[in-house]
Structure 1
């Protein structure tokens, strides 16, 4: 029995084990075997699975049309610090029973915000000390921390991009405390998500000035953390909209351009979320490939959206076919740079049993494991790479290679086109590639 507090919250559930694809035990991994080697690393090292504090232990199933349906035992205490400690006990019991090694948090996921900056800071320091003890006892680590600079009404016009300097300064104070908490807990990375860094109307917005303010804010935060000895990565999490109509961190390409413009590219990478990619009308594999090409594929928030709903539904991943495409990019890029796979997903409002939280995370981990295994087989046992390379073989020698090396002028290209005359079409063989994917999944 695993308990890391005075009380067992998930009664009757022991540590989740790998039992293989033939197992009928719903509380067992069918494909995620932490010790199985794939492409030179075991699955544990590849994924660094992390539990999202906010969805798993703070959410209660509320939606815009109804109150929460999930009544958690750790939410009973009226004293905010006792409630925070109860929540931490439940969180670490869950994480260790899952056999995962990491968690992620926003500052006020850990403890309720106080009535003043000082009260909030004092509460955060106390719960961080408690979490530090729990980490030491359990071996669980912090993948990354972040701050919630979007829920409080003071941030209704943004935080780092707010037109009121005093709100920006308040956000800086909050981020400083969150950075301090992350460093105290030996967090491996720190994330910035600009939930309200954007605009509702351009009529009252100076976009250029706001973007410059955000660049300066991030630079100042980075400089502060580096002075304190923080060696980890800073991540930015793209999202195109919701809650703001247009958010400045729209997608991977937008963020990369922003980081390069503000000379932040050496310290910042991307934390990509599946549901955010689809909201930007991209696929996750597209966003991952864009980030990987820039050397910024840092971390992943694993979830999925609903194809019939146009908002961020944060469902647990279960689409093996799409995840396999993402894992092809993952393996080609050599994995993630500093981050891991964080389950930024929530059980459904009508899922009210305590075991449902386990079932959701088991399914998510198995989805990624199946996808990784399939992607590795596609790369090594099929003609996938050969076929892809063949499409670009005209650039491997002769004039194509000369062009890649910058040895041909535009006039040279003109002359070559005339010499070639009319060209035959070459099939992209998309259906063949799709069939290969389906064969191995």
Structure 2
């Protein structure tokens, strides 16, 4: 073990009554839930960027966390970073990880250097994967940090910069395929605008779609059979991003014929920034058949920016896992902890404790979601609420066997109709009743 991990043993499940900090209270990977092992329903992944690269810097202060890995050269340090990543995942029993190209490989002084560094470091990481059995969930390219992308990458007004983004994405796809990843993510960190006074939105959206089509065509030609994801986010760093929320992205995908290859990578904190709940975004994705993967974190509702905190809100994780269960679980996606420790949590143990907290919170949410389904009262109420669509005129509406003229004739002959009560308060009480008797 290296860099503060030497004396930390593997974290084990000890049950809810354990007072041991370095133990799972609810995450029991082999426990069966809805016919699957808990670890298969949750499919936890480590985020390479926040976990190994985040140094606690914020707009008002310098770094508080040591992220200077041992080594004489940038590549040696990248390899040490990979050693730490895999040691950490083994301690936590995490079976997947996710990365941006710049998280794992030194940037170098050119795209050519970055490409060569990416080839070398993925050779090294593949060796660690073969040794440990840890797998890649998805990869992506960081096309937002470099100054060249200040006006966008795929939506840049300059064709040369579009070409640079394409090159980076191509090489990140190669790395993802090489490491056996089952997903590739587009997060449009700069794909948006600050003012329409200098923006041709039509060209930018058309070009973004062209880039995505190129990525799909290239990856499929290389044998990639996994999913492509778009990660919605409404703002930060641009004032208005084109991937605002799930509904916006679904419209984009359908317009440009990308809906057969792309699904959603939904982040909890991004959902709340868009003015939605986490459950809402998951539900919209599920009913539109684009549910794919999840970035697990939470925001602070008192703050208006993306705080990327480790998830501790059991209400949110329960509602999340209800949607995941209804979607049949993950296929190629999983639960990636796109979360970072707070500036004052600067030790390696703090990172492990944060992951334990997040993993336990989702495990508890899964257990409660399963109890809610087994309890049946909420599902039964919803079924009764829409029962009128199972017979008579309702069945005709569902089947498309009627029209406006027929519905008018039917409605004119109806006696006064009283709407049924929604009973929101009752259902929330049922939720609490189940939640606190797990």
TM-score norm. by structure 2 comes to 0.97
* Residue in 2 that maps onto 1:317: 311
- Cα distance in structure 2, aligned partners of 1:344 and 1:23: 27
Q: CA deviation at 1:11?
A: 2.6
Aligned partner (choices 241, 248, 265) of residue 242 of structure 2: 248
Large movers: runs of 4+ above 4 Å: none
Q: Is the 8 A contact 1:321 1:437 kept in 2?
A: no
Q: Is the 8 A contact 1:9 1:90 kept in 2?
A: no
* Residue in 2 that maps onto 1:146: 140
Aligned partner (choices 15, 18, 36) of residue 10 of structure 2: 15
* Residue in 2 that maps onto 1:115: 109
What SS is found at the alignment partner of 2:259? coil
* Residue in 1 that maps onto 2:179: 185
* Residue in 2 that maps onto 1:61: 56
Any residues of structure 2 matched to 1:251-400 within 5 Å, and which? Answer: 251-400=245-394
Q: Deviation digits for residues 340-388 of structure 1, max 9, x if unmatched? A: 0000000000112221101111111111111111111111123111111
Aligned partner (choices 24, 27, 30) of residue 29 of structure 1: 24
- Cα distance in structure 1, aligned partners of 2:320 and 2:23: 24
What SS is found at the alignment partner of 1:272? strand
Q: Is the 8 A contact 1:52 1:104 kept in 2?
A: yes
Structure 2 spans left out of the alignment, 5+ residues:
none
Q: Is the 8 A contact 1:321 1:438 kept in 2?
A: no
Q: Is the 8 A contact 1:285 1:329 kept in 2?
A: yes
- Cα distance in structure 1, aligned partners of 2:131 and 2:155: 40
Q: Deviation digits for residues 115-164 of structure 1, max 9, x if unmatched? A: 01111111111111110100011111100000000000100010001110
- Cα distance in structure 1, aligned partners of 2:72 and 2:88: 22
Q: Is the 8 A contact 1:143 1:188 kept in 2?
A: yes
- Cα distance in structure 2, aligned partners of 1:179 and 1:322: 32
* Residue in 2 that maps onto 1:39: 34
Q: Relative to structure 1, is the Cα distance of residues 198 and 8 closer, same or farther in structure 2, using a 3 angstrom cutoff?
A: closer
Q: Is the 8 A contact 1:272 1:299 kept in 2?
A: yes
* Residue in 2 that maps onto 1:403: 397
TM-score norm. by structure 1 comes to 0.97
- Cα distance in structure 2, aligned partners of 1:327 and 1:49: 13
Q: Is the 8 A contact 1:297 1:337 kept in 2?
A: no
Q: CA deviation at 1:265?
A: 1.1
Q: Deviation digits for residues 143-188 of structure 1, max 9, x if unmatched? A: 0000000000100010001110110001101111111111111111
- Cα distance in structure 1, aligned partners of 2:61 and 2:314: 32
Any residues of structure 2 matched to 1:203-242 within 5 Å, and which? Answer: 203-242=197-236
Q: Is the 8 A contact 1:200 1:244 kept in 2?
A: yes
